[in-house]
Structure 1
Amino acid sequence: MKIKKLVYSTLIILVALQGYSQKAKVVAADKKYDRYAYVDAIATYERVAEKGYKDEKMFQKLGNAYYFNAELEKAAKWYGELFAMNQEQEQEYYYRYSQCLKSVGEYAKADDMLEQFNKKSGNDKRAKLFAKHKNYLEEIKANSGRFNIEDAGINSEFSDYGTAFSGNKLVFASARDTGNVSKRVFQWTNQSFTNLYASEVNSRGNLEAPKPFGNRMNSKFHESTPVFTKDGKTVYFTRNNFLDGKKGKDDKKITLLKLYKATLENDSWGNVTELPFNSDQYSVAHPMLSPDDKTLYFASDMPGTFGQSDLFKVAINDIGSFGKPENLGATINTEGRETFPYVSDENELYFASDGHPGLGGLDVFVSKVEQDGSFKEVQNVGAPLNGPQDDFAFLIDSKTRNGFFTSNRTGGKGYDDIYKFTETRKLVCKQELAGIITDSETGIVLPNVKASLFNEKFELLKGNVSDEKGHYNFDVECGKTYYVRAEAVDYETKESKVSIITTNGTTILPIALEKAECKVAVGGDLAKCFGIKTIYFDLDKSLIKKEAAFELEKILDVMKQYPAMKLDIRSHTDSRQSAKYNEALSDRRAKSTIDWLVKSGIDASRLTGKGCGESQLVNSCADGVKCTEEQHQANRRSEFIVTSIE
């Protein structure tokens, strides 16, 4: 708004200031399935890790297994190994590790992890909001087109702004020249100081010519932004620091803003008193009452403010005294300017801000006030109410959906102008988060799977169970990010992140669960159980590398669990050498694998093996066929085929 240049003395100063896996059960071989063996993968990982082998994914799985099972001390151990190996992790691991560290009393280190967790999306809330709403223009577009707007018909060539209902009158602030010979002019604009005016609303819903309102309330300095109690007998309003002919100043000799209260006596406003939480050292302005008149909202730069100006609330006690002002918190306030609050009869908080993603200058935003006093996701009310300039001081009648707001947009009559509007549809975004839970290997739907919904801070919100068709669903808020955790017996717990779109509809999140216990029959491949694609060797060599030893430790652990198990070890190559060369190389590699297991304590009689070379390709990448590296990699594999279990 143009009047925001007035810096301290004007009433607009406030604008310028302004999972992974729950631990798998150890299951003995069922007598009914005597041809199968069940392998506890997590237990194997832990035994392998205890031998000193380090693998990032393994530490993640171990940490998650204990974290999701509330064994935080054990989880702290494996998350510690994870971060010791690599400090750069997904943000949720910083949060989980911090929680585990708190459980063992390492608060300083936990705080450091939380700090890094916060830095992942930026320290500045405005940066966080931008990162969260990178498609904010699309979000605003989805909220736009809901208002029919026109000039209110009461504007002057000066500044007119900030409206309130009082009976059948619209009360507002104006710097218009009333012709008073003793008028005081504000030197920054060469306009009169603002006073309160009122316009009668006629039978056609139009506003009559404005007249001065509450002469005993208007002073020789600025007054603005009144709000009236439901009974019409009390008004709260903003004024420069001036009472009973005395002007107050801060330590820099500047007159700031304060909130005042007046009462109606014999049809005249009087008994003007200032509110007890005012100060000469900071500004308090733009009051607004809750629907029950028990809470007063306002804008201020008082101590405890996040940014240039924040929104606060204070309880109004039955005897007329006030509680302690409370900051509305990070959902509403940013490091920018939040100001001009308005609370509708439907407990919707409307306010102006340049800290939330908008179209330029101050935009009008809205958030639902919950019963516990918390706030739902902040939303931009959209164009054409919001535009490139300053838009603020929103006021709406919840029944008629008619209202007023102020803007300094192009085409106005004065510095700031009051516009009236009709809201043609409410800003309601309904989203459902749904999906099908399946077995990752077979694709079979999984009923009776526990599904839990968490917010961005990994706080549990709600839970349900998938139906007979594997379907789960949650009612969620538009524009938010959630985590869905799916847990089922004999499956690894999986946690998936999802961002909800900002238009009505359903966000689909399918979840495929992996078996936590591998069912291995004669003829089955242990490599598939542990995701072993190949045993690593140097190029053209058959010596076991460190990475190969890590994979073979898993096979070794399983064979020790099942002393009667016998394996046929097969090594495969791609086609990018001669068939004879590949057969000889793969045969040496298979024998090296067997030798490693024998040296580690496995009886040689339990092992057979051979190199298959390029004779069993899994795709069409034979000699002379052009293939990608990924396609060739699929053919370079190791197999550990079970030939006997007992």
Structure 2
Amino acid sequence: MNIKKYLLVCIVIMISSAMFSQQGKQKRADTLFNKFSFVKAAEVYRELIENRYNVDYATRKLADCYALLRDPRNAARYYKKVVTQEKVPIEYYYSYAQALRGNKDYKESEIWLQRFKDSGGVVNANDFSKDANFITSIFNAKQQYFLDRVRFNSKFSDFGAFEFKGKVYFTSARDEGLAVKRLYGWNEQPFLDVYVTEVGSKKNVDHTAKIKGDVNSIYHDGPVTITKDGRTMYFSRNNYKDQIEVKDKKGLTNMKIYRATLRDSIWTDIEDLSINGDEFSTQHAALNIDDTKLYFASDRPGGFGGSDIWVVNIYPDGSLQDLHNVGNVVNTEGAEGFPFINNEGTLFFSSDGHVGLGLLDIFGTIKGENDEIVDVINLGIPVNSNKDDFSFTMNPNGITGYFASNRPGGRGDDDIYAYHRVPTLHVEGVVTDAINTKPIPNSIITLFDDKDNQIAYMETDENGFYQINIDRNKDYKIVASQKKYIDDYRKFTSKNIQTELTTIHANLLLNPVPNVIKLAELNTIYFDFNKFNIRKDAALELDKIVDLMQNQYPEMVIRIESHTDSRGKLSYNDKLSIDRANSTYAYLISKGIDPARITAHEGFGERRLTNGCEDGAKCEEEEHQLNRRTQFIVVKME
């Protein structure tokens, strides 16, 4: 081989080696991404970009990494490059809009949202203004949950805290202080039992705090939930009979949900439920607000993969019927468990199948207009971490509760964390026409802080509705604008309001611009052919105007303009229209309207037709009728 061929072969080998190296990096980055290891994936995607390998793809994935890491600043930085790529999927327009909104760049965000729509993209029905999922989504959501100290954790596994009537029931493997300990072979910890302590107690919780009765066994027991009357407990337990574990076909011991009854302060009369089976697990019981539905986790046949959330109706006689899966909005091919229903009927659960911060994350659900679950949201930091976060519960006040996590910094294995919640606060309202009380769609809503800095900008929907997230403990001014109306504004404050309050209402009323806007179309009155007398239907409309001027807008001033159709001579129609204006004027005066509040009552004959029914045109009587009318022009509102 001569030297040229040798060098050429070496170059080819070097290029091939480098190419294979970059391909391997991309595969590794994709694997990390698919495992939700977004920090490490981002590092490798950045290396691919630096090495100029498949740059467009790597940039898209890097932007997605930052989005999923709740970093809208860097996400927007890379999405800005992505949206300039040729044939980029239009979903990236939406992702860019979200990132911009996370940076409070509302105007630019709306531009890219509109581009997404114009390209055929479908956005949730109410866009960003009422999209609950987006409001509490991964971008720059205001922190709602704040952690509080829990004094009853141990060095073992503690989870499933459930507060009921001043006491906290929880599950723990802390079975210390006993001469003989039984250890669970999986993790060499004692088996789980159910404990109870007073809320806020500073006393050490040891084996003496186990609940009294027959709930705790020689195997795993817990977590629990209790009916509102305090008489019935549902709890998880290993499947066993006659003190011996029952194995399935794979040699595994599954979980079941049992029911216990409180008698003389002791939990007894343990009952195996009809929803259980030996070949699958049924666990993590949760009750809805009126104790008519039992939610639970199970890997029974008919699910979507792993374990799913299921629900069954509880009948007055205690029987369980109408078992069904809650659906694929909640359930995935991964594992879902630890359901909980708060007093508002919201389902919370843990999952490793939805995109999250780590392993198991805690999610809440969003309901549609028909009370069906339409989406899920990640509760975010600090509830979720890069470890397992689960067994979320919320107290009836909707503000405090508990969850468990094996994150670093705890006392033991799984630890219980208490939280207090400061719910997202928003201002919302409807923009209405002051004349006809109809909602005004596409009104411009601008929110200012106490220094008149603009902090939000949006349009009302088709119902005149708007909704904007705001901070607590601040003063605001909100302004509604529409080109055919006079601006209206309201000043309001979010200072010193109850934590439970989530909504401040600020409706806005827009008056028509003077000398330009006609009253609503329903207030136009019509006349019979060649007549100027006030018909019964016209009298009804005139009475509405009288009420408007006397009772709603005592300062309003109008003028009257009357018209004819095109039939007849021009001069005759001029006189006929003046007669119509005069009869309209006379009717209003007879009802008590001050003549000074009607600046003019004029006739315009056939000079201002509303359609194409000029002389000689073939028009139906209904079309001519539209021209035989009197209209009212607002000169002054107040």
Give the TM-score band, short-chain normalised: 0.3 to 0.5
TM-score (normalised: structure 2) = 0.46
Bigger RCO of structures 1 and 2 (CA < 8 A, at least 6 apart): 1
